[in-house]
Structure 1
């Protein structure tokens, strides 16, 4: 019999959807006591994890207002990706799979608010999580808790977009927008592993200097001299490519940035739609459906430059075709083992400072990853 005695913990709750993420963070999120899990109720295939680190992702923010395509039902706890220590295991969990004392990270597609089935409540902004053993991975040697909880979501996105969808080849030139973000930094590393020349864009010289250190061949600041707009940068991209333009665009930003990217592409280029961080209000708030502010692209440019525009949803694609996932997860873990990829974490907060952490992500203060420590 397991005699482990656990103290109460804490967890963040989203009590209802708001008009936008900032309103949700300020008005509809609260820190409450989390009752310790009842070990007598632990199922044979489950494990209990004491959470040490939880990623603060852009998607976590959009979920709070119901402006993301996947909506957990409030009240719910945010935190798609997290890592921690195994405190207890069910009777059917073999030590070779997961053992008490192991450092693990959770599979965000199987548990937490982004998952589809029975473990949506097993989220990261909390002290404890109970999840099935098959939804946890051992943290690789040399990886921290912070790095582990910023691994799968970011690098699976980069893999799916650049490899599965974009079919990037060695010698091609890839333009990565929002390159100082978590998926942007992952894309820089993956594109370089594929043998591509990487041009990275962003809105801060300081951030772009770090992106260059992460492997980008060229960096371009796209911020307009006045205001928060996007300056004309197509000529700079053309100059860096000998007048030809880029073969592939990995676009996390959307809006005016996408329009400028189209004009910087080579004939026959591929635009990978990864996200739209510059226009987070494309959908209605409070979980209402519809997209009254949806981004639009000029069909005349797409036609005359023979461009291919690809939606690249890494999670939804797996829902449609589960066979896509095993090879990409295996490749990512192999790259980790070989020391070829590593997330960058710029911001760390204790769990009670969850509002500060989420607003730092919203404002764009973060370079790469941001984490909460429960």
Structure 2
């Protein structure tokens, strides 16, 4: 926290106009006052995520009014509470469901959108878990209806959500096939618990992906496919879904938004659905509470391991995001305000 102005101002990354990385600047801003039902936390850590770049460029489906500070799901310590707050007090350690505002020293969040951190979970590990593990949990549990014994194909398996999905699926008794685009990255998915590797760099992806999955499943295909990539990867993976299988769309990191011919779904009795975890936070807070209770318990028990952290000061937010986009980060890029 800045010592200037006796804690009336704070440092924050501020988006005044949408634009490329570096457009938003580090500024002095007033420390926000918690409204009725809100808690104010002193931010200890916040993950730098791909979605932050979309928000800052004005390309995301949900855009806050400008000026604003980006940064989803910051973690920290309560330092003030608004009227009517009953669940939390100053000094409590929390993970917040803030959709923006995390790239700052302080942020105010509704009490209903906060979760108490267990003593055994550090702020960095909590920030590493956020957005990745809750996305993977909702995808597997609610959208894909994961059951023990299912075979799960995770595309983009070396990304934050992919690695989270591998660990969560294994913790729930699934067999996991990890789709990777580089043979050099097989170690990290093996360490996360992947049972088998699917090479996404094969020349004939359309046929090659299905051939690999069928070879690993006795010709049955994958019961569940998680797809954060879209494009040609989606097209190929759809052909590798088992009868009554479920493919869940998480994003389109490869760039192209694919299309589905509905007759194919009918012929194979398969489902294609999507997940936008921000909607779950707004519409189903009870389910999100169950989600984080489960994730935190698995972390403390050592059954899942948060990704390693590469820390950056708040002023270096653009470098953190550039390193993330350039695949220079192993694990999670974390900002320390």
Distance 1:213 1:55 in 2: 22
* Alpha-carbon distance between aligned partners in 2 of 1:230 and 1:354, rounded to the nearest angstrom: 38
1:31 corresponding residue in structure 2 = 26
Unaligned runs of 5+ in 2: none
SS of residue paired to 2:44 = strand
In structure 2, the residue matched to 1:76 is 68
Map 1:13-162 → 2, pairs under 5 A: 13-18=14-19, 24-26=20-22, 28-37=23-32, 42-43=34-35, 45-90=37-82, 93=85, 97-106=87-96, 108=97, 111-113=98-100, 123-162=101-140
Is the counterpart of residue 208 in structure 1 residue 173 in structure 2? no
Any idea what SS the aligned residue of 2:7 has? coil
CA drift at 1:67 = 2.2
| Residue 268 (structure 1) aligned with residue 244 (structure 2) | yes
Q: 1:133 to 1:266 in 2, by over 3 A?
A: closer
Number of the residue aligned with 2:288: 325
> Is the 8 Å Cα contact of residues 204 and 221 (structure 1) preserved in structure 2?
yes
Task: State the distance in 1 between where 2:248 and 2:52 align.
Answer: 22
Distance (whole Å) between structure 2 residues aligned to residue 359 and residue 202 of structure 1: 21
- C-alpha distance in 2, partners of 1:89/1:317? 25
Whether the 8 Å CA contact 1:161–1:272 is kept in 2: the answer is: yes
Count how many residue pairs are aligned between Structure 1 and Structure 2: 333
Structure 1, residues 318-373: CA drift from partner, whole Å, max 9, x if none?
54555543433333333334332332034221111111111122223334422111
2:220 — aligned with what?
A: 244
Cα pair 2:133 2:161 within 8 Å, conserved: yes
1:25 match: secondary structure: coil
**For the Cα contact (< 8 Å) 1:11–1:127, is it kept in 2?**
yes
1:29-83 per-position Cα deviation (integer Å, ceiling 9, x unaligned): 211123345xxx5556443322121111122122122322211122211001111
Q: 1:350 to 1:200 in 2, by over 3 A?
A: same
Instruction: Indicate whether 1:295 and 2:220 are aligned.
Output: no
How far is 1:99 from its partner? 3.4
CA shift in 2, pair 1:211/1:67, >3 Å: same
Distance 1:45 1:273, change over 3 A: closer
Of residues 297, 308, 319, the one that matches 1:334 is 297
Report the counterpart of residue 10 of structure 2 in structure 1: 9
Kept after mapping to 2: 8 A contact 1:180/1:367 = no
> 1 CA distance for matches of 2:286 and 2:36?
27
Q: Distance in 2 between matches of 1:148 and 1:260?
A: 34
Superposition pairs for residues 352-367 of structure 1, below 5 Å?
352-367=315-330
For residues 56 and 196 of structure 1, do their structure 2 counterparts lie closer, same or farther at Cα, with a shift above 3 Å needed? same
Out of 166, 177, 188, the position equivalent to 2:144 is 166
Q: Is the 8 A contact 1:45 1:93 kept in 2?
A: yes
Cα deviation, residue 311, structure 1: 1.9
Aligned partners of 1:157, 1:234: CA distance in 2, in Å?
25
Q: Work out the CA distance in 1 between the residues paired with 2:11 and 2:206.
A: 41
Query: How far apart are the structure 1 equivalents of 2:146 and 2:222?
Result: 12
Contact 1:252–1:274 (CA under 8 A) maintained in structure 2: yes
Q: TM-score, normalized by length of structure 1?
A: 0.79
CA distance in 2, matches of 1:43, 1:364: 39
